[in-house]
Structure formats: structure tokens, C-alpha cells
Amino acid sequence: MACYEWRIMNILVINAGSSSIKYQLMDIEDVHHCALLASGLVEKIGEPSGRAIHKTFVGDQERKFTEERHFSEHREGMSRVVTLLTDKKMGVIHDAAEIHGVGHRVLSCGEVYRDTVLVTPQVKDTIREFFPLGPLHNPANLLGIEVSQEFFPHAPQVAVFDTAFHQTMPPKAFLYAVPYEWYTKYRLRRYGFHGTSHKFIAQETAEFLGRPLAETSLISIHLGNGCSMAAVRNGQCVDTSMGVTPLEGLMMGTRSGDIDPAALEYIMGQTGMDIHQMVDALNKQSGLKGVCGVNDMREVVESAAAGQPQAETALEMFVYRIQKYIGAYMAVLPRLDAVVFTAGIGQNSAPVRARICQDLVHLGLCLDDAKNAVPANEPRAIQKAGAPIQILVLPTNEELQIALETKQIITGR
């Protein structure tokens, strides 16, 4: 048990998908003292041709290794991860025993776990129990845990739930206006996702503003290929845009976001689509891609600037949804300290941020165009001097948050 008292730990973070394994290895003390040692991806597991991408970071030097090969199953993919991490040329540790803990991103366990937990047989059973609510993610997450236990039997395994941060929502926010037994019997409710990102951003916002988290209220806007927002009052989530699945809420890269449920019956009747085809279309063929043909926001912005009407329409729709949610969340927050942009689009797209803020001056969002236009990887404020509400751009780091919570669980045993 001596290793659990170590100040610095090597934490491996794993995000296992149905056909992929994403990983990061960090040497971590706390949020301000951590080093990314390696990161990588094993993808197309089970397909005829797979790929492994492995990067190492030593000082300011980054090295990258890529190989094309067949991975028949996750166990074979994880074996390759261990080999790459310990390789004499491309590795950063000598032996798998140097990994002190493994943190796993897990989609959901409903209302059972409100925080990060040490993986036990009971935890695995609960993850399995919630397969129906996360059929694309929970089975892969559990598989990642079980394979990791085989390769790192000495290391505590920790589950970090994507829905945990949103468990502080009150019933008026998480319940749907449907027969109540659908909630009590079938667990139908708003769960929300991207919770690890929203939690990290809430903590970073409090630190940036120089106030305790428990005294910080904000609207966090996570904009990537998947998009979500959260209303955070005094450090706790009181509402979020995603629902029982990640499909609800904002318009996204390939997801529709909010839609009239009766429209689905109409389109199914017109096209002959079954429910599985409809859900697939809403998740993979809708959003930006559905409206203008591409889901990369950089391409959408460029096409809109070039006068392509469908791209302009898609961009206007994307922005409008976010503006409406900002207004709704301002209504439920007695005080608002900051509106915070994060993730790929939120952090890097100045044109999208400008469009979102330009019609919200009457709500106190006064963007400084010059500050907004300057690209940077550091946390920064981009509102005008004297504005009543701060507009922040903060890089998110879900892997770091998982690593921090994993270490906390291990050292607290």
C-alpha cells in the first residue's frame, strides 16, 4: 500500500469505444503540477485494417509513431498499448508496474453513482445494468475496464462518469413531462453528458476569477463535434442541455439536437424508415452535416464567408440555438459571473464566438472584437472593459480531470 502515499503518480487514462482505445499517461501531482508522458489511439478494432498512433512527450520534444495493422479485439489493442508505453525507443516507462492507477471514462450509471468510484464487481454490474441507456458506450467502457484489469492487475481501476457532475440538478430540471412511472420504472430523465468537461471548466473559471468554486456561477459552453451547455450555480450544475442521451439540446456536428418528437413519426411514414434508421439519421446524418453537407465547423465558416447559402443557414441555426440556451440559463441563475467557451469550436473559432455574442449585448455580453480575434491556448477574458459579465475562453482537459479524480480516489483509500 506504500505507493498510494506517493505525492506523484503515473495515472493512465483510458476511453474505450466500441472499436477504439484512446489513452493518455500522466505523471501527476495536482492540477498545476502534471506532465503528459504519452498519448495515443488504437482504432478500427475488429476491422480488417486497424491503426495505432502513439505519441511521447519528453521535455519540449514530441515523437510520433504510427502503424497500420489488424487488431482482432480490445485485448490485442491494449496489449499493443502496453508494448508502446514500455518500448525501449518509443516508451516512457520500463514496466507496466510503474502505472499506479487507471482512470476510465464511463458514460453513465444513472442515479446510482453521483461521483467517481473505485471499480468493484458491484460497480461493473451497475455499468452493465445501464447498457440499455448507453448501448453505444457503456458496453465498450466496461470492456475497457475488464481488459485493463488483466494488463494492470496491480493498479486500482477507477470509473469517472460522464454524467456525475449533472447529478446536482433538481427534479424540475431533470424530469420530463411524461407519465411519472417512465421515470420511476424505466429511469427516463435528463442525465446530461460532457460532465467531466463542465466540471473542469467550473473549477478553472473559479480559479481564473479568484473566488471559491462554491461562490462561482457560470454558463459553460462546450462546443465540439458534440455540443452541450450547463448552468452552474455556486459550483453546482442546476441544468444542462443534453438529455437521457447525448442527442438532445444544441445543434451539433452530426446530431440534430432538439426536435419535435412527432416529426419523427411523420418522416418515418413518408420514407419507410424504421426507428433504428431514424435514430441513426438523427445521430449521424443531421446537425451541421444534415443542413449543409459538412460537419467540420472550419469548413462551414469558410463556406459561409464565401457566400454559400446552406452553410450560412447552418451557421445561423447553430448560433441561434446557443443564444436561446444562454437566455434560458440566465433566467435560472440569480447571478452570472461568466459565460465560458471551451472545446474545439468554443476555444478556437473566433467567428462563432463573435456571432453568438453580437446579439446579446442587452444581456450584458459585451465582446471585445480585438481580444476575441487573438488566438491563444491560455485561459483569457475577451469581454470589453467594464462589461457586467465576463466572457472567457478556457481550454478544457477531460483527461486531466479524470487523472486528478483517479489519484484522489487512490490516495483516499
Which residues form the catalytic set?
A: 162
As given in the structure block, the three cell numbers for residue 173 are 430540471
d(CA 413, CA 263): 51
Place of cell 473566433: 350
Contacts for 248 with CB less than 8 Å, ≥ 6 apart: 190, 241, 242, 257, 258
323 with 297: CB under 8 angstroms? Answer: no
Task: Point out which residues pair with 27 in neighbouring strands.
Answer: 10, 35
d(CA 406, CA 13): 9
As given in the structure block, the three cell numbers for residue 411 are 490516495
d(CA 296, CA 300): 6
d(CA 44, CA 107): 20
Residue of 281, 290, 348 whose CA lies nearest to 318: 290
342 with 230: CB under 8 angstroms? Answer: no
**DSSP letter (8 states) at residue 60:** T
d(CA 276, CA 327): 34
**Does residue 275 come out as left (phi exceeding 0), alpha (psi in the -120 to 50 range) or beta?**
alpha
As given in the structure block, the three cell numbers for residue 48 are 480488417
CA 403 to chain centre: 14
